[in-house]
Structure 1
Amino acid sequence: MSALSAAVPYRLTGRRVEVTGPLDLSGAGRETAEAVCFLRECQSQGLRVTWRAIGRPSYDTGLLSHLPPPTELPGAGGELAVWRAGYVHGSLYHRRGPGFVAVLDRRAGLGTAVRLTLDHPELLAAFLRLQEPTPVGAVDREAVGLLVAERLVLAAGGWAVALPPRIRRWPVPCTAI
């Protein structure tokens, strides 16, 4: 199992992760990108996460509906209820091939599944670079804009991070997804 980010304090017990402090979802800077990256990697590894949020999101929280919802999200009672009701493991993920990334997006509100293949060199490079929280200026702005428009990247507070996890472990039975 690859290591989780040291930027987020957590306790790992078996396949359960308990985040020991609140995660900033405000979108005001690097902290939000680190929090989203941490949650994405937990999902990628098939870990169950218990966490709480601070900060009122400055973006559509529907972007994060593929990630496990927090136990609390200040000032967003209705949004949290929608997030909890709509959360399904594996509703957004990516797979890698030689020279491309295939993305499946079945998040709520999109209706049907959307399948995307990122094979354009600049888009692919930007997506792979954004697996880690990155200042927006350090990545091709046009590529980031296209990925944001497709709801594959969260860009807020001058930082950007890719949203689809690379699923390495499916729950049993995996046919339930």
Structure 2
Amino acid sequence: MSTLPAPPARMALSLPALHVPYRIDGRLVMVDEPLRLGAGGQRAAAAAQFLRECQSHDLVVHWTPATDDPLFTGSTNEVSATAGLLRHLPAPGPLPGEPPELAVWRDRHAYGQLYHRRGPDFVTVMDRREPSAAARFTIEHPDLLATFLTVLDATPVACLSTTGREAVDLLTTERLAWVTDGWVVALPPRIRRWPVPCTDI
């Protein structure tokens, strides 16, 4: 009598090797140092990329912002705009005396508010960060698609071609990419499970 083969081993989850020290236990990711999303440049873009990848895998992330992070100590309009842009990412833990926009981020955050799916030679994006202004995009122009796929990794804007920089301007205008102090990163996570009714996918 033959025995049944063992089930295939489950692959360990792989998150990008960025400037973010973390520990992972099942679906829980604990970031070991405060993140400085408002500090700008490579570290901020890499932190956003890290959080985006965690969101892509529907992981629970415990992270806190640095208490002096300009993102959370700036003007109310600046904090509100950036929190609205990044609301689809795992929300930061509470800080004493934090601006109310961070509590709103935690209250309104949900998996599937912004995501992308890939097809042959195109990407579709669903943006529901603002429920009253939900939008769907299809990225199929070769230059725009190539740039979107490139900036899934945090990238210096100066390293892009003129066409790439024009594409970044379009992606930024539609709030699908974040430019911070000369670095750019795409914001929509790649969807890996059905988080919303199939009519919204």
Compute the TM-score of the two structures, normalised by the length of structure 2: 0.79
| Alpha-carbon contact 1:50-1:71 (below 8 Å) kept | yes
- State yes or no: 1:157 paired with 2:169: no
* Percent identity between the two aligned chains: 52
- Flag the 1:65–1:71 CA change in 2: closer, same or farther, 3 A: same
Provide the residue aligned with 1:65 in structure 2: 87
Provide the residue aligned with 1:115 in structure 2: 136
The structure with higher relative contact order (CA 8 Å, sep 6+) is 1
Deviations 1:97-123 (A, max 9, x none): 001000000003x51320000001111
What is the letter of the counterpart of residue 60 of structure 1? T
CA RMSD of aligned residues (A): 2.1
Q: Which 5+ residue runs of structure 1 have no aligned equivalent?
A: none
Task: Report the number of matched residues.
Answer: 174
| Alpha-carbon contact 1:56-1:76 (below 8 Å) kept | no
Compute the TM-score of the two structures, normalised by the length of structure 1: 0.90
Deviations 1:131-155 (A, max 9, x none): 1000012221110000000000000
- Flag the 1:134–1:47 CA change in 2: closer, same or farther, 3 A: same
Provide the residue aligned with 1:148 in structure 2: 172
Is the partner of 1:53 in helix, strand or coil?
A: coil
Is the partner of 1:85 in helix, strand or coil?
A: helix
Provide the residue aligned with 1:37 in structure 2: 49
Q: Which 5+ residue runs of structure 2 have no aligned equivalent?
A: 1-11, 72-77
Provide the residue aligned with 1:53 in structure 2: 65
Larger Rg: 2
Provide the residue aligned with 2:105 in structure 1: 83
More strand by share: 1
| Alpha-carbon contact 1:132-1:161 (below 8 Å) kept | yes
Deviations 1:26-53 (A, max 9, x none): 1421000010000000111121111011
More helix by share: 2
Name which of 113, 117, 129 aligns with 2:150: 129
